[in-house]
Amino acid sequence: MDGRGAECTRRDPCSNWNAALRAARPGDVVNVLPGHHGSQKLRKADAKPVGSAPVLFRGAGTGSTRVGQLDVEVPETTFASLQVTSEVRVRRTASGTTLSMLQVNGIVDLEADRSALLDSRVAPPADRDAVQVRSGAADVAIRGNVIGPGPRTGANHVDCVQVSWASRLQITGNTLYRCATQSLHLKPDRGDVVDVLVQGNAIQGCVPRSDACNGYNAFDVRTAGHDIRDIRVIGNTVHGGVTFDDVPGLVLQRNLMNDHPGCLVGSTDNVFGRGGCDRPEANAVRSVRFVAPDADPPDLRAVPECACAGYGAR
- Whether 92 is in a domain gets the answer no
Among left, alpha and beta (phi > 0; psi -120 to 50; other), residue 119 is left
**How many domains does the chain fold into?**
1
105 occurs within a structural domain: no
pLDDT for res 187: 98
221 in a structural domain: yes
Tens of pLDDT, residues 59-117:
997 789 999 999 999 999 999 999 999 999 999 999 999 999 999 999 999 999 999 99
- Is residue 238, in this structure, part of any structural domain at all? yes
pTM above 0.85, yes or no: yes
**75 in any annotated domain:** no
pLDDT, one tens digit per residue, over 203-236 is 999 877 787 887 779 999 999 999 999 999 999 9
- Domain extent, residue 143, equals 123-306
Label each residue of 114-167 as H, E or C.
CCEEECCEECCCCCCCCEEECCCEEEEEEECCEECCECCCCCCCCEEEEECCEE
For CA atoms 58, 150, 224, 313, give the dihedral sign: positive
Q: How far apart are CA 170 and CA 133, in angstroms?
A: 11
pLDDT at 57 over 70: yes
Residue 311 domain-assigned? no
Report if residue 240 sits inside a domain.
yes
Residue 83 domain-assigned (yes or no): no
